[in-house]
Structure 1
Amino acid sequence: MSCNKKLKDNNLSIQPEANMEFSAKGKTISVYTTADSTNLRLTKIENLTFSETKQPKEKEISVFVEPKKTFQTFIGIGGAITDASAETFYKLDTETQDQLITAYYSKDKGIGYSLMRTTIHSCDFSSESYTYIKEGDSTLSTFSIEKDRQYRIPMIKRAIQKANGLVTFASPWSPPAFMKNNNDMLHGGILLPECYQPWANYFVKFIKAYEKEGIPIWGITVQNEPMAIQTWESCIYTAEAERDFIKNNLGPTFKKLGWSDKKIIVWDHNRDLMTHRANVIYNDPEASKYVWGMGFHWYETWSGGKPMFDNVKRVNEDYPSKKLLFTEGCNDKFDANKLQFWPNGEHYGESMIHDFNNGTVGWTDWNILLDQNGGPNHVGNFCFAPVHANTNTGELIFTPSYYYIGHFSKFIRPGAKRVSTSVSRSVLLSTSFLNTDGTMVTVVMNSSDQKIVYKLLVNDEQALIEIPAHAIQSLVY
């Protein structure tokens, strides 16, 4: 079946950047803590005051914040509303649905998500494989998002309303089967060259359809995990293939529509190969001019190695004009006995601190909600979410991951600037952001078995703070 077709709209604005002189003098520090083996969950435990700084000593543990040194502008933190999240959501009663939406998207009563990912037709976290057209329709004349109107679109609208707007981006897991050389949405395969333009047109149809529903699409990723042959929806792009699709099809198609404000995000896969993808695409000026930045995931540890945080830093150093966005992460291999497994939360805290300190502007979790089995998932790839719903009892289960993410998303707001932060001992991790309203947020994480007393030093001011074992704190001042 041969392929062939053509192609404007509005958008969501990011908050203004923080741009001000900051002094800690006279400030009060509100200390919010989440800790293992306690009932502390994003709990405000105390207010502290700064005093004049004394020279820190080697035997002391210190966190150093230098407000004069600022870096990337923060766009938000959020998660993905997938078919699985939405199907699970609509199995709950109205009161529990409201509880979930408030928990994620309210700044006051929840953790204030401001970023959202969704999928372009199906992924593994759908109950079945589907597309928006009849198979073989290269003209896209049968395009319809009617299926999404049942569960996914209504849930997205409720999230946007509660958050008072969300920066929303979308990702495809696979083109329709007939557009691929394996004639299958699953098991990898590649996009046929003659279908590059129809597939670019498909992105346009999706964006227009969602925006007609009142869901502004801020950006898209070209392909979810383009180097992974999966048992679910997947499609392989070499770096050169992704470059050429952007340069010759997707970029020019968006340009013709005047869509310079729609962000095109490349890679959308693990940290391991991201430097190679950046080199190939960014070093081609005709492709690079269309690209806002690079998305990445955290699953490079599948090989048994450790997270490759320095690769994020390397891309940021090599291509400082391009942005970095964490587009997906979850704890996989679902086990109902591990819903309160503390290291799952610490996985989030460690990644978020490193990724932000390495230049990432936003951070997106995977499914915001799954059921008591870690699904639904049409190929049995069951995973953890920060919140699970037991659809038999109707209860919501908030895992440690929800609270760890919340220590960032609730307090660091869009438009914030990252501020230079370092620690004197490897036992702690820390990052800081200056919000547009003038408040500084320093997040400190302790994954050790011991409580730690540390000094927070900002300008000429300091404060003494205690963090429990296996805990995370947000210091707001």
Structure 2
Amino acid sequence: MRKSIQVIQTSKYDTGKWNNKGNFDLLQGKSDTDNTIDIYPEDEYQEWLGFGGAFTEAAAYSLSKVSKENQKEIIYHYFNKEHGLGYTLGRTHIHSCDFSLENYTYVEENDEKLQTFSIDREKKLVIPLIKAAIKEAGEELSILSSPWSPPAWMKTNGDMNHGGKLKEKYRDLWALYYVKYIQEMSKEGINIWGVSVQNEPEATQVWDSCRYTAEEERDFVKFHLGPTLEKHGFDNKKIVIWDHNRDLMVERAEKILSDPEAAKYIWGVGNHWYVSEEFENLSKVHEMFPNKHLIFTEGCIEGGVQLGAWHTGERYARNIIGDMNNWLEAFLDWNIVLDEKGGPNHVGNYCDSPVIVDTNEDVVHYNSSFYYIGHFSKYIKPGAKRIATNSKIETLSYTAFKNSDGSIALVVLNETEQDIPYTLQIEGKYINLISTKRSINTILI
């Protein structure tokens, strides 16, 4: 029987982060207030796969511009299981994305046999970073790899940027390109866990981008990517569709997954947080296709670096909680590190990151988002299962998971400027707590 709790807190108005506020005994009985958060440990939902971030060329380049000591510190704080965020997932871009130093591919122009295919560019910065992360984590990372655009000569607009589409005659060749990437990364000792079909297939961006309608994405998986992976012995690789915002994910998933010949190749649906916080759309997809998986594949704070900002961490926590409570199984942040400008980015699409390095002063900044992610990733371990919660308190956001060892982590987010008292109730016991203004608490039970 559970007898005590530990409270870990990070607050805008308190010094230090992940502060241990102490251990407290649970009291026998039931609260006489309606201001409760009730937890039901036996009522289980989805299993959690883990947290991670993206190994972009921009992240690797930014890290290379600071001292070896700072590089090691950042990797330690992200991937160490005992004292860091405990990341177990990663994401890579298949050749260039906007957070690359320029447009680039792995083949020479018009090489329709992929004879010149080479990932030598990734061996300079990205692969060494991934290997260092794996070493710190002490285990293989599950890496999702996503293309932003096929080579320009494979596209209708003759340009890696500005949208365009994959030419029909190159669909098999482009599918083989994924295989080549998986094979070459494997030669470097890096196992690719899965691939998404296309990053943001509904967006025409000024950077690397390529559009697919739902029918085109369905048919690419059904007739090209799925069979090609299978043919080369990679039918164990996960295929993720959509990899875009929540607002249109229901329609996209329904159109693709309703086709059994396409669906048989597909592991799940990826979502981003831009545009919309319609968390309920994840549940809609889950209800239609309960055997498919839901994974958050990208999110960041747009508009450049915001050192010291608090709302950035709150956005992370609010989105993580909202998605978790609607069947999400994994969370992949975008760039793990960026420089003082929020780049480099080859089209100037600067963004924020949980870790910012000042490459001029050799200084590391940990943003509120880094600590807010840690309130989940440090305490909700891979293999944990979400458990039922219930509350009438509309001013708090919360979620709870039960780890494999039976311990429970309840995360409570308060984005208001008011202290909010509440009573935690579990298995016939209770305790009175206060969620202080602009704070996040992880209660370990």
Within the alignment, does 1:29 sit opposite 2:14 as a pair? no
- Specify which of 206, 215, 218 is matched with residue 231 of structure 1: 206
Post-superposition Cα deviations, 1:293-331, rounded to whole Å, max 9, x if no partner, equal 000001124xxxxx2111112111111111000000001
Corresponding residue of 2:105: 131
Residue 297 in structure 1 maps to residue 272 in structure 2: yes
- Post-superposition offset of 1:258: 3.0
Residue equivalent to 1:151: 125
1:320 and 2:290 matched: yes
- Counterpart CA distance in 1 for 2:29 and 2:180 is 58
* Residue of structure 2 in register with 1:117 after alignment: 91
Which whole-Å CA distance do the structure 2 matches of 1:288 and 1:255 have between them?
14
1:45 — aligned with what? 21
TM-aligned CA deviation for residue 75 of structure 1 = 0.4
* CA 1:37–1:197: 2 relative to 1, 3 Å: same
Aligned to 2:379, the other structure's residue is in SS state coil
CA distance in 1, matches of 2:32, 2:108: 68
> Which of 207, 219, 225 matches 1:244?
219
Q: Does 1:329 align with 2:303?
A: no
Per the TM alignment, residue 167 of structure 1 is displaced from its structure 2 partner at its CA by: 1.2
What's 2:336 paired with?
368
Structure 2 residue aligned with 1:197:
172
- In the other structure, the counterpart of 1:449 is 417
Aligned equivalents of 1:328 and 1:422: distance in 2? 29
Structure 1 residues without counterparts, runs of 5 or longer: 1-22, 302-306
Report the equivalent of 2:323: 355
- Deviation per residue, 1:33-56 (Å, 9 max, x gap): 010021131111111111113144
Other structure's SS at 2:267 match:
strand
- Deviation string 1:393-451 (CA, Å, 9 cap, x unpaired) is 11110000001111011111111111112222111111111111221111111111011
**Aligned pairs (5 A) from 1:7-26:** 23-24=1-2, 26=3
Q: Is residue 2:51 matched to residue 1:81?
A: no
Query: Residue 328 and residue 56 in structure 1: after superposition, are their counterparts in 2 closer, same or farther (change >3 A)?
Result: farther
Equivalent position to 2:191, from 216, 219, 224: 216
* Residues 80-102 of structure 1 deviation map (CA, whole Å, 9 limit, x = unaligned): 01000000011111110111001
1:13-50 per-position Cα deviation (integer Å, ceiling 9, x unaligned): xxxxxxxxxx42x2x21111010021131111111111
- The worse-fitting range, judged by mean Cα deviation, of 465-474 and 325-334 is 465-474
Whether 2:45 is the aligned partner of 1:71: answer yes
Q: Determine the C-alpha separation between the residues in 1 that align with 2:340 and 2:13.
A: 23
Does the Cα contact within 8 Å between 2:81 and 2:137 map onto a contact in 1? Answer: yes
* Farther off after superposition, 311-320 or 364-373: 311-320
Return the alpha-carbon distance in structure 1 between the equivalents of residues 89 and 73 of structure 2.
19
| Cα offset, 1:461, TM superposition | 1.4
Counterpart of 1:272 in 2: which secondary structure? helix
CA displacement 1:62-113 (0-9 Å, x = unmatched): 1111011101110001110100000001111111011100111112221111
- Alpha carbons 1:423, 1:430 under 8 Å: kept: no
1: CA distance between counterparts of 2:290 and 2:161? 36
Give the whole-Å Cα distance in 1 for the aligned partners of 2:81 and 2:375.
12
Distance apart, 1:341 and its partner CA: 1.1
Q: Is the 8 A contact 1:33 1:40 kept in 2?
A: no
Cα separation, 1, equivalents of 2:176 and 2:234: 13
Query: What is the rounded CA distance, in whole Å, between the counterparts of 2:233 and 2:121 in structure 1?
Result: 29
Alignment partners' CA distance in 1, 2:362 and 2:144: 30
Report the equivalent of 1:163.
137
The one of 159, 174, 189 aligned to 1:184: 159
Give, in whole Å, the separation in 1 of the partners of 2:69 and 2:5.
35
Q: Which amino acid is 2:143 matched to?
A: T
In the alignment, structure 1 residue 435 sits paired with structure 2 residue 403:
yes
Q: For residue 48 of structure 1, what is the amino acid of its counterpart? A: F
Q: Deviations over 1:121-165 (max 9, x none)?
A: 110001111000001111100000000011000001101111122
TM-score when normalising by structure 2: 0.98
Paired letter, 1:441: A
Q: Which residue of 2 aligns with 1:468?
A: 436
Aligned to 1:57: 33
Measure the CA separation in 1 of the matches of 2:144 and 2:351. Answer: 22
Kindly indicate whether the alpha-carbon contact (under 8 Å) linking 1:300 and 1:308 is maintained by their aligned counterparts in 2.
Answer: no
Corresponding residue number in structure 1 for 2:380: 412
User: Which stretch of structure 1 is more off in the superposition, 105-114 or 179-188?
Assistant: 105-114
Question: Does the 8 Å CA contact 2:376/2:411 hold for their aligned counterparts?
Answer: yes
Conservation of the 8 A alpha-carbon contact between 2:46 and 2:327: yes
Cα distance in structure 1, aligned partners of 2:373 and 2:32: 31
- Root-mean-square deviation (CA, aligned residues, Å) is 1.0
2-structure distance, mates of 1:244, 1:290: 11
Q: What 5-or-longer segments of structure 2 have no aligned partner?
A: none
Structure 2: how far apart are the matches of 1:161 and 1:56?
51
Whole-Å separation in 1 of the counterparts to 2:345 and 2:220: 30
Q: Which amino acid aligns with 2:211?
A: I
Aligned with 1:285 (options 260, 266, 269) = 260
Query: Match of 1:312, SS?
Result: helix
Q: Is the 8 A contact 2:249 2:281 kept in 1?
A: yes
Tell me if structure 1 keeps the 8 A contact 2:30–2:425.
Answer: no
